[in-house]
Amino acid sequence: MKLLSLAPVRRYALMLAVSAVLAAALVVAQASALASLVAAAVHGRVDRVALAVSVGAIALRVLHAIGTGALSARAAAGIKARLRDDVLASAVGRGPAWLGGQRAGELATLAGRGIDGLDGFLAGYLPQVGLAVAVPARCSSGWRSPMSPRR
């Protein structure tokens, strides 16, 4: 069984993709505003619009990180519950003869610590992979910051 064949995993992957695109937009907006602030400071000015955009982007990134963390934790719990159900159904479906030949500790470890080991992958690694793909894609897409001078 592949992990992406589970409906909760597919929903989570879609939510992560949307979240990564939003995070990429916020990162690029913050970087553009910061660049404008530095450029203005070099000329002895304060760019109030860039300052407001930078502060707003930081605030939105904080809220986004909180939301993504909550989403990831909830999705990971749902995915792990589904995997545990599948492990139990598979063991029961094989019948008592098969279960009698297995070590109970191995099955308990798989259903417990083995599946719990996915927490770091589901709630930590996957969201960062999405961000690592979305930010360079956003930067290379020819997107121009509203802060950029017009040509």
Q: Give the angle 53-54-56 at the CA atoms, nearest 5°.
A: 65
Residue 144: pLDDT band by 50, 70, 90 thresholds? low
Residue 114: pLDDT band by 50, 70, 90 thresholds? confident
Locate the domains of the chain by residue range: 7-139
| Structure confidence at residue 130 (pLDDT) | 85
Alpha carbons 131 and 97: distance in angstroms, whole number: 47
| Structure confidence at residue 149 (pLDDT) | 59
pLDDT tens digits, 30-64: 999 999 999 999 999 999 999 999 999 999 999 99
pLDDT tens digits, 64-98: 999 999 999 988 898 899 889 988 898 889 888 88
| Structure confidence at residue 66 (pLDDT) | 95
